[in-house]
Structure 1
Amino acid sequence: MNGVAGLGKSECARGESTVAMHEGLVHVVDEDASVRDTLRRMLEADGFAVRCHASAGDYLAAWPSAPGCVLLDVRMPGPSGFDLQLALAYRHDALPVVFMGAYGDLPMSVLALKRGTVHFVAEPIQREALLAAVGKAVERSQAQRALDSRRRAMRERFMTLTARERAVFEHVTAGRLNKQIAATLCTCERTVKAHRANMMHKLQAHSVAELVRIAIHIEADAEVAA
């Protein structure tokens, strides 16, 4: 990749000073070692933790578990940046992508944006534009990981429900009243109320609206798993 200016003295000096560290890890994927080093120093000078990869294969082999983003050269030899992004699109835990490329690559970037790319940074790479794009991508990754954590906890709570509590859950989220649920389950209304109270306590829900949202997420997760 071309079009990445070297670090000036002021930027090098900044890298030596104390800077606020960002949460998350930036993965730089580029076949050019000098470009990787320049980008690494630029990002580290602004407080980002960085890991460099010489190819798409190297990145996939070191699949990250921490939040962050992927900084990709559009036209790498072998599997290109677009090829890697397409592979990542099929993984739920993939990190957000920031592409780097020439203005001639902009038409291709439209497709990339539809696939979930956060930003396209055009050459020659400008420091402020790059840092802003990476910062936005890392924030998006952190927000997604936090959401995933909440939904995972929700699924774990749902798995603690008994068979009868799940049955009551399904009827409640379908809009049925306790009396109707009791008739359907061939039990008394008092028993339904007890199961309903236990179910809501386990799910940490305080209203029917919250139960409906949980039902939507559970159904969506089941469809993804299928």
Structure 2
Amino acid sequence: MVEDDAHARQVLERVLQRDGQAVIGYASAEAFLEAYHAGEGNACLLVDAKLPGMDGFDLLARLRQAGDTLPAIMVTGLQDVGAAVRAMKSGASDFVEKPVRAATLRAAVDQAVAQSRDHGKLAAWRQKAADSLMGLTARQREVMTRVLAGEPSKNIAADLGISQRTVEAHRAEIMRRTGAKSLPALARLALTAEPVTS
């Protein structure tokens, strides 16, 4: 775990240790890289997006550039869709939103550790995400893409030649059909469903 706030690090460590997870905490990305040995099985990385020095995005990018496949979970600000999208594009397999809820954290870590053991589980997770987007119309997919890019409803409406109310109706229907409870959750689905490119 890489978290610069000592109190937050202790709280997260306690939550995971209660579930029997072995946790090693680091206060910076640099300290983590100094101690890390690639290829440690049945492990995952929990990293805060905002760190002093090298931030969480740069850390993930460095690991991926080195060919490291350690599953990583990024901790981002609540409703920060841009950070969530950037996290997954940097190589995070998932992200959790602050304030971090214990059940959400446990589920994300369990899934990441399972993926580190079995790449078939990652493929199944990607397929499940793709299936949840299958029911969207072409217009809903277009609206979803623009919403996740951070465009305001007013701009989307003007570009598509529809009313702002129609854009909002599409957004609500997208959330209903996909089962996403928040925009970051929708971003997670959309990015997980994207085909893997080498």
Give TM class, smaller chain.
Answer: 0.5 to 0.7
Structure 1 residue 104: Cα displacement: 4.8
2:40 to 63, 66, 71: 66
Does the aligned pair in 2 maintain the 1:118–1:133 contact within 8 Å? no
Q: Which residue of 1 aligns with 2:115?
A: 140
Q: Which residue of 2 aligns with 1:116?
A: 91
Q: Quote the Cα distance in structure 2 between the aligned partners of 1:69 and 1:49.
A: 11
Q: Which residue of 1 aligns with 2:21?
A: 48
1:126-162 CA-to-partner distances (Å, cap 9, x unmatched) read 1110110111111111225xxxxxxxxxxxxxxxxxx
Letter in 2 for 1:66: E
Q: Quote the Cα distance in structure 1 between the aligned partners of 2:110 and 2:47.
A: 15
Misfit runs of 4+, over 6 Å: none
Q: Quote the Cα distance in structure 2 between the aligned partners of 1:138 and 1:90.
A: 21
Letter in 2 for 1:80: D
Matching of residue 84 in structure 1 with residue 55 in structure 2: no
Q: Quote the Cα distance in structure 2 between the aligned partners of 1:34 and 1:103.
A: 19
1:54-82 CA-to-partner distances (Å, cap 9, x unmatched) read 10011101113422111011111111111
Gaps of 5+ in 1: 1-27, 145-223
Q: Highest CA radius of gyration, 1 or 2?
A: 1
> Cα RMSD over matched residues?
1.7
TM-score (norm 2): 0.56
Paired residues, what number? 118
Does the aligned pair in 1 maintain the 2:78–2:99 contact within 8 Å? no
1:92-119 CA-to-partner distances (Å, cap 9, x unmatched) read 2341110112125321221321333111
Q: Quote the Cα distance in structure 1 between the aligned partners of 2:118 and 2:67.
A: 14
Q: Which residue of 1 aligns with 2:159?
A: none
Q: Which residue of 2 aligns with 1:152?
A: none
Higher RCO (Cα < 8 Å, 6 or more apart): 2
Does the aligned pair in 1 maintain the 2:77–2:97 contact within 8 Å? yes
| Identity between Structure 1 and Structure 2 (%) | 37
Q: Quote the Cα distance in structure 1 between the aligned partners of 2:66 and 2:17.
A: 28
Q: Which residue of 2 aligns with 1:99?
A: 74
Match runs of 1:198-213 below 5 Å: none
